[in-house]
Amino acid sequence: MRYTLLSKWTVLVLTLVTLLLMWAGVSRAFLVAPHDPLRGTLLIILATFVYAVAWMVAFVDSIQERAFVWTLVLLLLLPVAVGPLLYSLIGPRNTK
C-alpha cells in the first residue's frame, strides 16, 4: 500500500483540525471570552483556510481515484461544508 498526501486520512485529519479551530474560535469570540473577539476571529479564519485545503485535497483525490460521482458530491456539498468529512469517512478507497 502506498501512502500519499492525497488520501482520505489527510482529509480526515484536516477536517478534525478545522472542527477544533472553529470550536476554539467561536468559543473565544462569542462564548467564553467575548472580550477577545480578534483572536477568535483569527481562529475562525484559520479554520476556514484549513477547511479549504481539506476540500481541495478531497476534490483532487476524487479526481485521481476517478471517482467522478464523489467529485460531483463534493461540489454539491460545498455550501453545506460537510463534503470532506463524508468523503474521508465513506468515500472511495484509495488505490493510487
| DSSP output for 28-90 | IIIIS-TT-HHHHHHHHHHHHHHHHHHHHHHHHHHHHTT-HHHHHHHHHTTTTT-HHHHHHHH
Residue 35 falls within a domain, yes or no?
Answer: yes
Residue 1, SS3 per DSSP: coil
Task: Note if the pTM is more than 0.75.
Answer: yes
Model pLDDT for residues 1-50, shown as the tens digit of each residue: 444 666 888 899 999 999 999 999 988 888 875 677 888 899 999 999 99
Q: Are 17 and 36 in contact (CB under 8 A)?
A: no
Residue 86 falls within a domain, yes or no?
Answer: yes
Report how far residue 41's alpha carbon sits from residue 70's, in angstroms, rounded to the nearest whole number.
32
Q: Report how many domains make up the chain.
A: 1
Model pLDDT for residues 65-95, shown as the tens digit of each residue: 888 999 999 999 888 888 888 888 888 876 6
Q: Which domain holds residue 72?
A: 8-90
Q: Are 71 and 83 in contact (CB under 8 A)?
A: no
